[in-house]
Chains A and B, each alone.
Chain A
Amino acid sequence: MLSIKNLHASIEGTPILRGINLEVKAGEVHAIMGPNGSGKSTLASVLAGREEYEVTEGEVSFKGINLLDLSPEDRAREGVFLAFQYPVEIPGVSSTNFLRTAVNQVREYRGEEALDAVKFLTLMKEKMRLVEIDQKLLSRSLNEGFSGGEKKRNEIFQMAMLAPTLSILDETDSGLDIDALRIVSNGVNQLKTKDNATIVVTHYQRLLDHIVPDFVHVLYNGQIVKSGTKELALELEEKGYDWIKDEVDSKATV
């Protein structure tokens, strides 16, 4: 589904990603871990099409399409979803109007009929249950005055509404208490099918107790330096990142 080959990206001339290679197949959950500043969030942003990042080398193919050629909105319409690390508060834009515009633009792109108000509300009610989000929140401006946990739940709610093929969760767990974490993870797990895939970007292993990954990759200095299964995450939890840094740095000196 997603194939990243030798991806290099920089921001304002500073290289952040230095040759990422990653294959994600339908039905898989991949966790990307790594110390602060290793490039995890940059990878998520580059995949979603954030303009500040310049891709200097490599390619990203998504369902056979060159993802890097698409605008952020077309990536979303093709089925890429980024759950933001810091969801943006947008005063004056109602959550419901925003979502309806988004859902219908995505549907239009896919050649599907727009949802009328009734069908949209029915869909919304169904998906609200998934992340236990309150109707009251959705009658407010988008993310405005939401708590950290509410914002993250709203991200997963939007993900449920848009039914993406590839979801990228950028540090969705950070700052969540255990109840919120459980709700968010439940949502993600229920949305999982054999046809979609999830990339979980996280600093901590804790989230992976709830969203169990098929593969764990460690990002360091803009490269994936180690890949394994969920046991690797536990090892990182226990030993920290230093042993990986040492391993990589010693290799570099040899």
Chain B
Amino acid sequence: MSTLIKEDILVELLATTGTGFEEVRAAGKQAFQVQGFPTNKSEEYKFTAITKKIEQSIQNFAPAAPFTVTAEEVNANIFEGYAGDVLVFANGHFAPALSSTIEGVEVSLLSEKSSIALGSIAKPEKDPFCALNQSSFEGGIFISVPKKAQIQKPILLLNFFKATAGQVIQPRVWIEAGDFAEVTFINHSVNLSDIPYFVNKVVEVKGGVNTQIRYYKLQNEGKNVIEVSNIETDIQKDARFTSVNISLSGEMVRNNLTLNILGSNSEGNMYGLYLLNGKTHVDNHTNVDHTVPHCESNELYKGVLADNSRGVFNGKIFVRQDAQKTNAFQQNSNILLSDDAVVNTKPQLEIWADDVKCSHGCTTGQLDEEALFYLQARGIGKLQAKGLLLYAFTGEVMDYITDQSFREYCIAQVQDRLGSNL
């Protein structure tokens, strides 16, 4: 086990178990004890010294207590023109009084769903933080979309975070969608305190055959958040899963996104954008596992990095021997705006099948000076010209967001940042 985080801290973390799921939690604890906190020697966390960051920033490893969110706070954080449903969470605990009742969708506390096989999709052996969450998550929510249900309006998962005495928040989400179901989630988080906190979240998505599931996530909680997010889904036959992840701020953020392609003729899409400034560190690790033939995966992550920020991209694509006729595409492109910004990008393709189309590429460059001069020579101010060019670079990712109000909100946030020189 790692000696980086003191033993007593670990005891405290692992002792803070919520109720129920004793066996699941025990398995999580065991998996965590085998792996320990990642060190700088851990291959998967080589560029992201998250353990050190947690040690430096978190003094009290007790769970942040649930608290009361006001209706005003909820309303103030819903996007203009948003017409979907809203589920509100305070430090990971569901707040039903402020949440919509969604027609045709079951929303329950995880504690009421003891038969759910937590950890069967996001397996605790694969990532220490996933294991840690499984051992000691608090609250937790179960969302179920029945077979053939077409949920037209998106579901906004609105998370309020506020470090109280404790600074650790470990939310857990289980989403399941029956065969042929269609649903869109938007995950948005708001920080209400100025005390640093550590969020360690796990989302498992269990989709049936021919489902259409979209999961969008916006991270813009400011400088006090250290976050590890594990999102994992099993994609069955004829289904499509699309993730869009937009990271705009944070102290240190690690996103693990894993798509297990288990049924033929299915599709997994991973799109991401990170606009980083100050000392923000964002690490996107994605993993798509093609195990069956005739499937497709598309991946596009774009980054703009200013100041001393750091971006990490690691995109794994596995194409197993049985996964013939796979089409897998991956692209990661970055623009560095300062000499001190750093990006580490690593495409990682492992292909055992012999009849596949796979491509990957990564680029890291600077703003095109020639294009900048061209715009200036037409009377456009330098700052605005930069903003136009950077938006042109990043805008493509936003096109994958289908909900108009959320897309426009994201575009406004991004343009606001780009116009202000990041």
Contact = CB atoms under 8 A, between A and B. Distances in A.
Interface of A: 48-51, 71-73, 75-77, 81-82, 84, 87-88, 90-93, 98-99, 101-103, 105-106, 109, 141, 158, 162
Contacts of A102: 375, 378-380
13 contacts: A48-B377, A71-B376, A73-B376, A73-B381, A81-B377, A90-B371, A92-B392, A93-B375, A101-B380, A102-B375, A102-B380, A103-B379, A105-B380
A49 B377 contact: yes
Q: Is the interface of B mostly helix, strand, loop or mixed?
A: helix
B379 A105 contact: yes
B103 interface: no
A71 B392 CA distance: 23
Interface stretch (B3-11, B23-31, B250-258, B382-390): B382-390
A105 B380 CA distance: 6
B374 interface: yes
A93 B388 contact: yes
Contact of B379 (A87, A88, A106, A141): A106
B391 interface: yes
B371 A76 contact: no
A98 B389 CA distance: 10
B396 interface: yes
B393 interface: yes
5 tightest Cβ-Cβ pairs between the two chains A and B: A92-B392, A76-B379, A72-B376, A106-B379, A102-B378
- Taking residues whose C-beta sits less than 8 angstroms from the other chain, chain B's interface range is 20 to 34
B380 A93 contact: no
Interface in B341-375: 368-371, 373-375
A90 B374 contact: yes
B222 interface: no
Contacts of B395: 92
A92 B391 contact: yes
Contacts of B396: 92
Contacts of B385: 73
A173 B384 CA distance: 31
B374 A88 contact: yes
A85 B368 CA distance: 17
A109 B388 CA distance: 19
Contacts of A73: 376-377, 379-382, 385
B374 A162 contact: no
A207 to B, nearest CB: 21
Contact of A105 (B369, B373, B381, B389): B381
Contacts of A141: 392
B382 A71 contact: yes
A87 B378 contact: no
B382 A101 contact: no
A77 B378 CA distance: 8
B377 A72 contact: yes
Q: Which of the listed residues A49, A72, A75, A82 has the most CB atoms from chain B within 10 Å of its own CB?
A: A72
A51 B384 contact: no
Given A101-B384, A105-B384, A90 B379 contact: no
B392 A93 contact: yes
B389 A90 contact: yes
A250 B373 CA distance: 40
Q: Which of the listed residues B379, B380, B392, B393 has the most CB atoms from chain A within 10 Å of its own CB?
A: B379
A91 B393 CA distance: 8
Contacts of B377: 48-49, 72-73, 75-76, 81-82, 84
A76 to B, nearest CB: 4
Given A71-B382, A88-B371, A92-B395, A98 B388 contact: yes
Contacts of A87: 374
Given A92-B395, A93-B389, 19 more contacts: A50-B373, A73-B376, A73-B379, A73-B380, A76-B377, A76-B379, A81-B377, A82-B377, A87-B374, A88-B370, A88-B371, A90-B368, A92-B391, A92-B392, A93-B375, A98-B378, A99-B378, A105-B381, A162-B379
Contacts of B388: 93, 98, 101
A88 B372 CA distance: 9
Nearest to A82: B377
Nearest to B378: A102
A72 B389 contact: no
A93 B396 CA distance: 11
Contacts of B379: 73, 76-77, 102-103, 105-106, 109, 162
B335 to A, nearest CB: 12
A76 B374 contact: no
B397 to A, nearest CB: 11
A155 B418 CA distance: 27
Given A101-B384, A105-B381, A72 B373 contact: yes
A49 B372 CA distance: 12
B378 A51 contact: no
